[in-house]
């Protein structure tokens, strides 16, 4: 069962980036560019006070988000991609790029936008649920939570994109902390946008 796999360690990602600066073709893939456009179109506000991007990798999406945020914290569990992310984002003084392994590490500040894009399936279910609790704790009332994940199963990953999204769907609805605003299922990814109630 995929649920039984542990959260992928930092070394897994260090190995991936050792072989390529852009192992998932964030800069060049048509899939990624379409998904980035869908992500930006799903933003409910023109401008956010404080945003948190979990799993920024080399910072391609971060660069697109930067003009929409007064403050943006972008983190990744591996150091290798952050070297490129910092270079890409050096013109944006309001963007902070940090190495951070969530959920054990989590910034103790409030955000009105939290993005979890293409990283939730790297966590074992208990860690994903811990991360969800932290996200809900530090997302402001009326703040937006945006999830975007590849849906086909990947043998290495503890979870599928659908499993990740269902954890958050189950926390939405009447008397739940989240309200589902928008849901899109494309051929190989899904996007769900929530507001904290």
Task: Please give the Cα distance from 57 to 49 (Å, whole number).
Answer: 22
Q: Residue 3 — pLDDT band, cuts 50, 70, 90?
A: very low
In tens, the pLDDT along 153-162 reads: 999 999 999 9
16/4 Cα distance (integer angstroms) = 22
pLDDT bracket for residue 2 (50, 70, 90): very low
Domain that holds residue 162: 2-196
- Going through 8-124 in order, the beta strands assigned E by DSSP cover 51-54, 72-76, 95-99, 111-117
The whole-number pLDDT of residue 42 equals: 98
- Encode pLDDT of 72-101 as tens digits: 999 999 999 999 999 999 999 999 999 999
| pTM of the predicted model as reported, rounded to 2 decimal places | 0.93
3-state secondary structure of 135: helix
pLDDT in tens, 112-123: 999 999 999 999
**pLDDT, position 96:** 98
Question: For 142-176, what is each residue's pLDDT tens digit?
Answer: 999 999 999 999 999 999 999 999 999 999 999 99
pLDDT digits (tens, 9 = 90+) for 65-75: 999 999 999 99
pLDDT surpassing 60 at residue 1: no
pLDDT at 24 over 50: yes
Cα separation, 56 vs 49, whole angstroms: 19
Which CATH number does the domain housing residue 70 bear?
3.40.50.150
The count of domains in the chain is: 1
């Amino acid at each position: 069962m995929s649920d039984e796999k542990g959260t992928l360690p930092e070394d897994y990602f260090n190995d991936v980036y050792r072989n390529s600066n852009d192992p998932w073709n964030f800069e060049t893939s048509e899939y990624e560019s379409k998904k980035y456009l869908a992500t930006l179109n799903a933003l409910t506000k023109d401008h956010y006070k404080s945003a948190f991007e979990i799993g920024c990798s080399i910072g391609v999406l971060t660069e697109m988000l930067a003009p929409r945020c007064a403050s943006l914290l972008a983190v990744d569990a591996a150091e290798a991609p952050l070297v490129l992310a910092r270079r890409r984002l050096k013109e944006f003084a309001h963007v902070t790029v940090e190495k951070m392994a969530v959920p054990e590490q989590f910034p103790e500040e409030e955000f009105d936008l939290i993005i979890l894009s293409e990283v939730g399936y790297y966590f074992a279910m208990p860690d994903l649920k811990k991360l969800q609790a932290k996200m809900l704790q530090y997302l402001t009332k009326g703040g937006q939570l945006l999830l975007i994940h590849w849906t086909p199963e990947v043998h290495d990953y503890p979870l599928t994109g659908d499993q990740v999204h269902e954890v958050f769907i189950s926390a939405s609805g009447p008397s739940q902390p989240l309200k589902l605003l928008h849901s899109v299922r494309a051929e190989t990814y899904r996007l769900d946008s929530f507001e904290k109630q």
